[in-house]
Amino acid sequence: MEKKTVLTGITTSGTPHIGNYLGAIKPAIELSQGDTYNNFYFLADYHALIKCHDPDRVAQSTREIAATWLALGLDTDKATFYRQTDVPEITELTWILTCMCSKGLMNRAHAYKASVDANREAGNADLDDGVTMGLFSYPILMAADILMFNADLIPVGKDQIQHIEMARDVAGRFNHTYKKLFTEPQAVVDEETQLIPGLDGRKMSKSYDNTIPLFCGPDELYKLIKQVKTDTKAPGEPKDADTSTIFQLYNCFANEQEAASMRQQFENGIGWGDAKKELFEFLDSKLAAPRVRYNELMNDLGAVEEVLLKGADKARAVASPLMDQVRIASGIRPLTYVAAEKTEEKQKKEKSAEAIARAEEGRRRGILMQLKPLLAQVEDADDKPAMAKSLIADKTAQVESLKKKAKQKAQNELDVLQEELAAYL
């Protein structure tokens, strides 16, 4: 069976945090190990422009997210790792898909609806206030990201499921209208990795401002962990691990044994200060090695750039031929373009003409064999033209006297004779 393609992207508008790592990067890297899938992972830098209009932030985030994937061990010989903007076919496809996408579908997109709702709640008469066309039609750019590589499986957070469904919708519309060129993708949502809590206990997310950067220095890491919300239980009092953000963060990085032992400490009434110290030391020990690698990469951005450009070549080797087909299918063609199917038909016709000629030649040779004695008579005669004329006259008389089928046979012979003896007649 052909390998399925896994694809996912991260928008380059923030600093990678522990939630990104556990929820997206780590599982994606795991899916690229082994030989089960084709993997396409990319930096969604055009997506960054939707919400972030600070160019330095976008540029810096792109560096950070690129270095993060590499520091965490993504094997770029196996996975195709690229920057969205290095594959211009994606934006070309975006336009063609935009023309395949009803506005009504985009009206229903969560991100757009959230902005409309916020305007309504704020009593703003213009419900579209602050909504750019980028925000409005962003699911189409995302559909192009996915369809350009005929991806099957898209690991995403829950908030993105709707976008994958929209990508399916648009793919179906294109396939139906023009030609079946696109795979309909499927979202893959890992429930477990949806539950990574941030400093305030809500889902760790840039929009809640509750994140722990993945590769901040140890001092910063400890400082942030000290800010994690806890209850007011005193040291010595048993604590509930399952409702504790400290425990949950610990658990995300722990194996079963480590988690069980921490749980025991909670039951034994570990003080919050000590629990935070343990969490810090534990996370620091897990992140120290990739952090070193990350800092090296951030100091050698030329090397990271090179990796990305190589990835772009690999990505374009897939995107470009598909984009050619998409253009042709939708009517964007060289003026001299002749459909391949038509050429095939023509070739078939030419082929059969050739076959007919070959059969004809065979038939003629058969008749000639039979006429050999007659032709020899002409060759041997002193007056060749007289002999030829007399033979033709005989044959003509024979044709006249015969009935249908036999007549046709004699007529064929006469035709060949006339051709062969044309010189004497």
User: Could you list the residues that contact ligand TRP (CB under 6 A)?
Assistant: 7-9, 11, 44, 47, 142, 145-146, 154, 156, 160
Q: Least CB distance from residue 248 to ligand TRP, whole Å?
A: 22
Nearest to 93 by CA among 305, 313, 339, 318: 318
CA 56-57-59 angle, 5° bins? 65
CA 44-45-48 angle, 5° bins? 100
- Cβ proximity to ligand TRP: between 43 and 96 the closer is 43
Q: Least CB distance from residue 163 to ligand TRP, whole Å?
A: 6
- Cβ proximity to ligand TRP: between 42 and 215 the closer is 42
Report how far Cα 412 is from the mean position of its chain's Cα atoms: 63
Q: Whats the size of the chain, residue-wise?
A: 425
- Cβ proximity to ligand TRP: between 147 and 307 the closer is 147
Residue 182 · residue 150 · CB < 8 Å: yes
- Which phi and psi (to 5°) does residue 39 adopt? -125, 130
CA distance 12 to 57: 9
Catalogue the E-assigned strands of 312-423: none
Q: Least CB distance from residue 153 to ligand TRP, whole Å?
A: 10
- Cβ proximity to ligand TRP: between 47 and 83 the closer is 47
DSSP for residue 24: I
Q: Least CB distance from residue 136 to ligand TRP, whole Å?
A: 14
Q: Write out the two tokens for 64.
A: 């950070």
Nearest to 40 by CA among 324, 316, 327, 321: 316
Q: Least CB distance from residue 145 to ligand TRP, whole Å?
A: 4
- Cβ proximity to ligand TRP: between 146 and 283 the closer is 146
- Cβ proximity to ligand TRP: between 17 and 395 the closer is 17
- Cβ proximity to ligand TRP: between 47 and 395 the closer is 47
Q: Least CB distance from residue 47 to ligand TRP, whole Å?
A: 5
- Cβ proximity to ligand TRP: between 40 and 250 the closer is 40
Residue 151 · residue 13 · CB < 8 Å: no
Alpha helices in 122-186 (DSSP H): 133-136, 138-147, 161-177
Q: Least CB distance from residue 294 to ligand TRP, whole Å?
A: 21
Region of 331 on the Ramachandran plot (φ > 0 left; ψ -120 to 50 alpha; else beta): left
Q: Least CB distance from residue 307 to ligand TRP, whole Å?
A: 20
Residue 166 · residue 117 · CB < 8 Å: no
The residues near 103 (Cβ < 8 Å, ≥ 6 apart) are none
CA distance 212 to 14: 12
Q: Least CB distance from residue 101 to ligand TRP, whole Å?
A: 15
- Cβ proximity to ligand TRP: between 85 and 244 the closer is 85
Cα dihedral 135/136/137/143 (nearest 10): 70
Q: Least CB distance from residue 183 to ligand TRP, whole Å?
A: 13
CA distance 380 to 200: 116
CA 177-156-197 angle, 5° bins? 155
CA 318-320-324 angle, 5° bins? 125
- Cβ proximity to ligand TRP: between 154 and 246 the closer is 154
